[in-house]
Structure 1
Amino acid sequence: MGEREDMLAEVRERVDRVSATGDGSAVMDPVASVLSRNLAAMCDVGSGTDPEAEYTLGWLHFYRAQSLPPAQAATARELAVRLFAWCFIKGTRDTGELPQPLLATLAGAVLPFAAGTLERARANMDPAGQQFAETLYRRILACLPEADPERALCLSHLSVALLLRYGRTLATADADEAVEMARTAVRAAAPHPPLLAPSLNNLGLVLRARFEHTGVLADLDAAVDFLRDAVRTAAADATGRAGSLLQLSRALEVRYENTNALTDLDEAIETARTAVLTAPDHPDRTSHLATLGGALAMRYQRTGVLADLDEAVETGRAALRNVPERWPHAATHLSSLAATLLTRFEHTAVRADLDEAVELGRAAVRSLPAYYPAVDHALYLFALARTLLVRAEHPPAVAGDLDEAVAALDAALEGTRDDHLHRTAYRTHLGAALLQRAKVTGNGQDRERALAELRQMAEHVTTPPRIRVATARTVAQLTAASEPARAAKLLEQAVMTLPEVAPRRLGRGDRQHALGTLAAGLAADAAALALADTSVPEPEDRAARALSMVEAGRAVLLSQALDTRSDLTALRQQHSALAARFVELREALDRDAEPAPLTGGGPAGGQR
């Protein structure tokens, strides 16, 4: 054996003797001290390169602490914790093989290392690092007492690690565990105010992420509520509050995109402005500016106020100026500014904005690190394809734009699972791109493939109602002459889908905007196709079907104008008190919710 093996064997023999007899003299004599110093120097103890030596010396110093006076014992215990740390981190020893009285201290000592590991793995999209962080956090949790305040932080970070795993696997069980872990973190943080805001923030983040994959709106509503709580709770911490404001703004934007509630978008903008002003030196200021710019551009699309759009462009440029050189996540800000410039082009027709948007979109795709998941690459490919399709519609045409758009959309679909929420948008745009290319080239195969894609979007119940109705109209217009029966059926389904386009949760103005031009003439077109549908042999039956479509369309529009649901006459006649209570509750549910104020401190009100 070599010198290292000889010294390690002698130290191990002394440790085993103490373990067997309870007599600490074997680790207290001068020879033991010299052995431990020499072995530590030879093995570079503390670096994690020799876990066996660190493990053995850790036990030596733990046993020494049992026999030393209090002050010296504390020093020996600290040294033992440092020596055992790498065994704990790497899992080279089961926690049952470590001194049980040290486990809680050891778990707390490695928390900063775990947090740094998780952050690096998240930033670098490193799957192995993410899995390592998750395993380490589970080990830490198993050793922390239930009452330890560090548990809240550990649970919250573990929920983020689980969310990252969900991003890799898209397994519903992973998303559900991430949400449950984040909820547990909030409960654990409730008695410890400094830990509550970050726990609420992570819960909101996890819920929003699950919504973006599943489309369950209740998750998004809950995310907004928890993020508002996080903002209120973090009032005294400018940096933490700015981070929660940023997440709240993003959640409100997503909810606006899915419900068309203008109050959400207005609040998103004011929240993002507050984030920018709250912490002007925040390390994530680039994201704050980009989020504000994106929300302003979105509001322009709703209201048409050009000042919002110009501010959005300038804010987006400021965000890009703040991006560090060779930063791996620059794609987000490149793509965001591209989208804003595209919107301004659609208002002003200044070609330079459109051309710059295309180049920024290409730069965003090029800048994506290879370790980004395919589902993230798909988002940027989709954004580039949208911009290319717009340019293809505006002369002078640029050779290859349509081919590049189709290729980008095909790649986006290839990188996205069949049940992913964004897949609908990718397929809808692919259908549009193929139709556009078919018009230019006369390629019949492009046209047939486009119609197949669009029909599936129009007929599938999981497609968002607005897209279902709009796509059904497009397909019906294209196929009315060749397939009148199928076109009539599509428009009939579209008319019946209109109530889903403007749900009762929206205020009246938002419902009217949601219907907009989507409903205009739809029932009449459906009725005309029904009358022409010779697959229904009897003219009287065709007329009855056409009339039912006209009446269904009128009923939707009339209900929006009068704000009615259904006839309560029978209920009032038989149970007047019950009818009155129903109306009272209905009006309370329909009342537009006031956004929560973003000032004030104090803990979040209750747990959900």
Structure 2
Amino acid sequence: MALLSLYEAHRRPTDLKEALAIAREATGYRTPPHPQQALHLSNRCSAALANFDVFADPDLLDEAITAATEAVDRASPDDPDLALYQSNLTAARTQRFAMLTDRCRATVEDVLLTGRSDLLSSAVADGRAAIEAAPETEPRRWVARSNTSHALRLRYEAVGEDADLDDAVELAREALALVREVSWPTSGDLQEPARGPELSCLINLSAALMTRFFVTSRPDHGDEAVALCRQAAALAQADSGLRAVTLSNLAGTLQARARGPRHSTQNAERAVRAESAEHSVNAEGHAEAARRRDLDEAVQVCRRAVEAADKPLDRAVYRANLANALLARATGPADTDEAIENARRAVQDLPKGGTEWAIATANIATALSARWQAGPADQERQAEGDEVVTEACGHWRAVVAAATVAPAVRVAAARDASVLAARAGGPGTALAFAADAVDLLPLLAWQGLRWNSRVGHLTRLPSLATDAAALAAGVDSPRRALVLAEHGRAVLWSQLLDLRGDLGALERTAPGLAGRLAEIRDQLDHQVTS
């Protein structure tokens, strides 16, 4: 302890290293243990923590926690220093919690800046470890849950594992509940409680719920997401940056709810059909009016988000969202033209190859497609129409070719391009895009996903392969039609067959590698049967 005091006075790292070396020697295993072994272990914890502060070696935290835990276990209940040992253990666990939480947050920020979704698994692992490491008295436990939820949601968007999205929602709920248990200090002249943590958790939970609603289309999921987004937007009035985020999330949920409640409309119709057809019409009319209100508000809120954004990259994301909302509303040429303009400006400022860039690029293509379909069909405008179709397909082709973009986005781009090309009288181009979509199916439902997730992704695209086969048959290519149909039908079956290769020859030449492959095969098999 004298050496630690000496370090505090002179800041010589050698003093720290020497202090830890002496502490390790003092706690070496002896028979019987030293009478003051608990005190020595606690001192070793202090020395390891001091070294970690300087050298940032995670192994030092493990050493500190191990020593402090043993000190608490060895101390008798009446040991006057027991409170000190417990305090050191809490300090060590808090340090590990802070390290893992910061590392998770930094990795997520890196992913958002670079688009490197391969880093998300390490962010999730650090976040889960932080949750486990947090002492019960740690007031920032919500941070670990919120960060981990964010990482899980991003991984779901990149990979498509349904369990990630479920965990993201659950952890975001836990984070918000923990925040609301804390009495936060007041801030500002009004002496109102600081609401930053609650706002952060509301944003995270509403984003997770919004993503889940995109998948489930359940009305209750949409209503909850909209309600939470409204709460977040109300809390964010004083912060321009966060205000833009909350407005963008609110617009996204309103837009998703406008698309999704077709299920609720159908349920409403079924519920009243037995009473009268007139009631059924009324239910459908009310649902359509509600959908239109949601879309109008989504466009207005998106415009406010663009105005509130204080960073070029954020503004580009919100412009892409505005383009999407305008396309969803599509009341006429003015909406289409404004959508194209905002999507073009967004693409200029977004990093190429990222998900946001891909969505904005696809929005340009979708808007051009809408413009073409709404245009006159006379021969004088035929050349202009061909140019619009060519440009739209070019934007979709860029998305399909971007290997860093999520497979679901690439498949959707290929499918939409194929539909437009077919309508515009280009069967060859339509077939090429349809074949690209079918070729991407194994990547969309890749073997790293759980079986149910793979099945879910494929069942959402029931006619993709058959449509491609029909296009091939339409250009007198029956052999290719058969190949495309079989390729789409046998995605999961082919994956199962890939796991059944004979490893006998490999076992004779490289038994270690063969054993590792067999282990991986067993793990993938377990995903199918569990």
TM value normalised by structure 2: 0.68
Match for 2:438 among 471, 474, 495?
Answer: 495
Match for 1:587 among 514, 522, 525?
Answer: 522
Q: Encode CA deviations 1:84-120: one digit per residue, 9 max, x unaligned.
A: xxxxxxxxxxxxxxxx94799xxxxxxxxxxxxxxxx
Task: Report how far residue 462 of structure 1 moved.
Answer: 4.0
2:243 paired with 1:330: yes
Aligned to 2:206: 293
Question: Matches of residues 68-217 of structure 1 in structure 2 within 5 Å?
Answer: 101=10, 186=58, 189-190=61-62, 191=64, 192-217=92-117
Find the residue that maps to 2:256 and give its secondary structure: helix
Which stretch of the first structure deviates more once superposed, 340-349 or 286-295? 340-349
Aligned to 2:218: 305
Question: Matches of residues 200-599 of structure 1 in structure 2 within 5 Å?
Answer: 200-280=100-180, 281=182, 283-346=196-259, 347=261, 348-349=287-288, 350=290, 351-369=292-310, 372=311, 374-392=312-330, 397=331, 400-442=334-376, 444=385, 445-480=387-422, 482-518=425-461, 520-533=462-475, 542-559=477-494, 564-566=496-498, 568=500, 570-571=502-503, 585-589=520-524, 591=526
Find the residue that maps to 1:239 and give its secondary structure: coil
How many correspondences in the alignment?
409
**Is 1:186–1:200's contact at 8 Å kept on the other side of the alignment?**
no
Closer, same or farther in 2 for the Cα pair 1:475/1:303, shift >3 Å?
A: closer
CA distance in 2, matches of 1:453, 1:193: 51
Q: Encode CA deviations 1:259-309: one digit per residue, 9 max, x unaligned.
A: 222221111111111111112145410111122122223223323332222
CA distance in 2, matches of 1:101, 1:581: 52
Closer, same or farther in 2 for the Cα pair 1:293/1:198, shift >3 Å?
A: same
Identical aligned residues as a percent: 30
Task: List structure 1 runs of 4+ shifted beyond 6 angstroms.
Answer: 572-581
CA distance in 1, matches of 2:341, 2:54: 43
CA distance in 1, matches of 2:102, 2:507: 47
Task: Report how far residue 250 of structure 1 moved.
Answer: 0.9
CA distance in 2, matches of 1:233, 1:544: 59
CA distance in 1, matches of 2:218, 2:94: 41
Q: Encode CA deviations 1:341-363: one digit per residue, 9 max, x unaligned.
A: 22222215412222222211111
**Is 1:213–1:421's contact at 8 Å kept on the other side of the alignment?**
no
Residue identity in the other structure for 1:433? A
Closer, same or farther in 2 for the Cα pair 1:103/1:384, shift >3 Å?
A: farther
CA distance in 2, matches of 1:404, 1:569: 54
* Structure with the greater alpha carbon radius of gyration: 1
Closer, same or farther in 2 for the Cα pair 1:327/1:457, shift >3 Å?
A: closer
Closer, same or farther in 2 for the Cα pair 1:290/1:151, shift >3 Å?
A: farther
CA distance in 2, matches of 1:201, 1:505: 26
Closer, same or farther in 2 for the Cα pair 1:325/1:461, shift >3 Å?
A: closer
Residue identity in the other structure for 1:388? L
Residue identity in the other structure for 2:415? R
Highest RCO, 1 vs 2 (Cα 8 Å, sep ≥ 6):
1
Closer, same or farther in 2 for the Cα pair 1:468/1:295, shift >3 Å?
A: closer
Residue identity in the other structure for 2:94? P
Q: Encode CA deviations 1:496-543: one digit per residue, 9 max, x unaligned.
A: 22111101121122111112242x333333333334447xxxxxxx43
**Is 1:507–1:590's contact at 8 Å kept on the other side of the alignment?**
no
Task: Report how far residue 215 of structure 1 moved.
Answer: 4.4
Q: Structure 2: which 5+ residue stretches go unaligned?
A: 14-46, 65-91, 185-195, 262-286, 377-383
**Is 2:365–2:391's contact at 8 Å kept on the other side of the alignment?**
yes
Q: Encode CA deviations 1:177-200: one digit per residue, 9 max, x unaligned.
A: xxxxxxx56456554432221221
Task: Report how far residue 571 of structure 1 moved.
Answer: 4.8
Closer, same or farther in 2 for the Cα pair 1:240/1:414, shift >3 Å?
A: same
Q: Structure 1: which 5+ residue stretches go unaligned?
A: 1-73, 75-80, 82-99, 105-146, 156-183, 535-541, 594-608
**Is 2:176–2:201's contact at 8 Å kept on the other side of the alignment?**
yes
Task: Report how far residue 568 of structure 1 moved.
Answer: 3.0
Residue identity in the other structure for 2:463? G
Closer, same or farther in 2 for the Cα pair 1:489/1:406, shift >3 Å?
A: closer
Closer, same or farther in 2 for the Cα pair 1:213/1:352, shift >3 Å?
A: same
Which stretch of the first structure deviates more once superposed, 194-203 or 325-334? 325-334
Find the residue that maps to 2:238 and give its secondary structure: coil
Task: Report how far residue 333 of structure 1 moved.
Answer: 0.9
Aligned to 1:537: none
Q: Encode CA deviations 1:111-160: one digit per residue, 9 max, x unaligned.
A: xxxxxxxxxxxxxxxxxxxxxxxxxxxxxxxxxxxx895786789xxxxx
Aligned to 2:22: none
Closer, same or farther in 2 for the Cα pair 1:583/1:426, shift >3 Å?
A: same
TM value normalised by structure 1: 0.60
**Is 2:98–2:130's contact at 8 Å kept on the other side of the alignment?**
yes
Task: Report how far residue 570 of structure 1 moved.
Answer: 4.9
CA distance in 2, matches of 1:434, 1:186: 53
